[in-house]
Structure 1
Amino acid sequence: MTLHTAAEPEWFSTWFDSPYYHLLYHDRNQAEAREFLEGLLQYLHPKPHHTLLDLACGKGRHAIYLSERGYDVTGVDLSPESIAAAQEHAHDHLHFHVHDMREALPYGPFDFVFNLFTSFGYFRQESENVVALRNAAAALRPGGKMVIDFMNTERTVRELVAHEQKSVNGIDFHLHRHLHHDFIVKEISFQAPDGEMLHFEERVRALSRERFEEYFQMAGLRLVEVFGDYRLTPYDEANSPRMVFILKK
């Protein structure tokens, strides 16, 4: 049964398919991402025959790296544009599919599931978060592990920068961040090269560690460890930039 019958498109279905999304975030730190994945691989010790899922993979940067390390990797994402770009790197042991995580995964089972770079908590209805997590857990083999990398919400809210401007390739992006009904909202306004004024937004539910733990219990997942950053140092609610959850089925 599909839960998401909205009259208007959900923000991520339009923004993630926009070329301006990739332009705004073109400078994401690739070296940091690789260091993070390398640390996770050393911690998790996947075996050569293990299968990995990159859930909400975007253009596949994490999936591609995991594949380069010799694993069989599947990447799924809601954005057809992102998956089309990722498909350029596909091969016999690297597969990409358009998929909404609120629907049961027809792929798998997997030994490890990765959900990285705050790719969770986007949905209007909170129940959809639990549905998505249950679907991911169902795709895990018994004893398999899941990694969810989310912002440290407590610190993010405390240090929220309300207004910011970023100039990329001659386009001035005006960013406005605020809290609205349990969501951290980023409004993005700019003038396109053809003169059109465009407006997008990002909405991520302000999920606490305690709320996540409720989700995990409902999905039948056991919390093994929480790290606080991409170097996998211990989580500290006041100061850590991230919440990196290690879960076991």
Structure 2
Amino acid sequence: MNNWYEKSFGEDYLIIYKHRDMHGAAAEVRKMIAWLKLPNHSHVLDLCCGMGRHALALVEAGYCVTGVDLSPILLMEARASDPNNTIRWVQSDMRSLPCDETFNESFDAVVNLFTSFGYFEEDSEQLKVLKQIYQALKPGGQFIIDYMNASYTAKHLVLSSERTVDENSIIETRNIKDGFVTKEIVVQGPHRKTSRYTERVKLYSLDKLTEMLNEVGLAIDAVYGNYDEDDYDDLRSPRMIITGHR
């Protein structure tokens, strides 16, 4: 049986998340640059890069970028957006990055964005991801994990919604159970078969994430509640954007 993320991050993902554009990614990258204060030509790993929106914006900002994702379809889309091959695109599970000199202690920064964390059933599997971030970073290297705020998500959960994208109807229903937020997605349209997907992400408090980061040797420098640099507030912040270092 395939894991949910192996099915969900396919061609329909490009439709479901079409509203995520390059302009928004560029604005977020500008904030990340200000937080990290990295010099030009620093090496940055975009872990779970998806279609490559942030990776491309990071290259535009003057960095040497590697994008890693498990989905061959999303990586194909990313490569199509990078005709000059300015980025190294690598297909890999985020729990087990390539064991070579280009990954081991090679990066000045690692970014993990758009809630690309918490995909797995067990804490031990999420810890593998954090260990990979630690191992990929040079000593003193920095990281950003852009994750949802569990408390805010629970309080403001939209149980159901429907929208139309390119004649396709996208119906989303959400619930929280056993410490996970789950989204069921139905995509249907006049010229296609109906498809169904599940997204399931574990909800972590800041205290728990801090504990997990410390366990693998990563330290937190700051936590923001959004990309406007507002301080993180457990009740009012929509995001939990953690910056830190090895």
Counterpart mapping for 1:211-222 below 5 A:
211-222=208-219
User: Which position in structure 2 is the counterpart of 1:161?
Assistant: 158
Counterpart mapping for 1:38-53 below 5 A:
38-53=30-45
User: Which position in structure 2 is the counterpart of 1:70?
Assistant: 62
* Equivalent position amino acid for 2:204 in 1: L
Q: Secondary structure at the match of 1:40?
A: helix
Q: Secondary structure at the match of 1:202?
A: strand
Structure 2 length-normalised TM: 0.93
Which runs of 5 or more residues in structure 1 are unaligned? 1-7
User: Which position in structure 2 is the counterpart of 1:235?
Assistant: 232
Please, what is the CA RMSD of the aligned residues? 1.5
Tell whether the 8 Å contact from 1:177 to 1:185 is kept in structure 2 after alignment. yes
Q: Secondary structure at the match of 2:7?
A: helix
* Equivalent position amino acid for 1:142 in 2: P
Matched, 1:100 2:97: no
Counterpart mapping for 1:128-167 below 5 A:
128-167=125-164
User: Which position in structure 2 is the counterpart of 1:5?
Assistant: none
Matched, 1:210 2:207: yes
User: Which position in structure 1 is the counterpart of 2:4?
Assistant: 11
Alpha-carbon distance in structure 2 between the residues aligned to 1:58 and 1:92: 16
Tell whether the 8 Å contact from 1:112 to 1:146 is kept in structure 2 after alignment. yes
Distance change (3 Å), C-alpha of 1:190 and 1:40: closer
- Count how many residue pairs are aligned between Structure 1 and Structure 2: 241
Tell whether the 8 Å contact from 2:169 to 2:189 is kept in structure 1 after alignment. no
Alpha-carbon distance in structure 2 between the residues aligned to 1:90 and 1:219: 37
Alpha-carbon distance in structure 1 between the residues aligned to 2:37 and 2:213: 22
Instruction: Measure how far apart 1:52 and its partner are.
Output: 0.5
Alpha-carbon distance in structure 1 between the residues aligned to 2:124 and 2:83: 33
Alpha-carbon distance in structure 2 between the residues aligned to 1:73 and 1:42: 17
Tell whether the 8 Å contact from 1:105 to 1:136 is kept in structure 2 after alignment. no
Alpha-carbon distance in structure 1 between the residues aligned to 2:192 and 2:148: 34
Matched, 1:26 2:23: no
Tell whether the 8 Å contact from 1:224 to 1:248 is kept in structure 2 after alignment. yes
Alpha-carbon distance in structure 2 between the residues aligned to 1:196 and 1:39: 40
Q: Secondary structure at the match of 2:184?
A: strand
| Identity of matched residues, % | 35
Which runs of 5 or more residues in structure 2 are unaligned? none
Q: What do residues 207-229 of structure 1 show as CA deviations (whole Å, max 9, x unaligned)? A: 11111111101110011110110
Instruction: Measure how far apart 1:198 and its partner are.
Output: 2.0
Instruction: Measure how far apart 1:48 and its partner are.
Output: 1.9
Instruction: Measure how far apart 1:233 and its partner are.
Output: 1.7
User: Which position in structure 2 is the counterpart of 1:176?
Assistant: 173
Instruction: Measure how far apart 1:78 and its partner are.
Output: 0.6
Tell whether the 8 Å contact from 2:107 to 2:141 is kept in structure 1 after alignment. yes
Alpha-carbon distance in structure 1 between the residues aligned to 2:124 and 2:84: 35
Alpha-carbon distance in structure 2 between the residues aligned to 1:46 and 1:90: 26
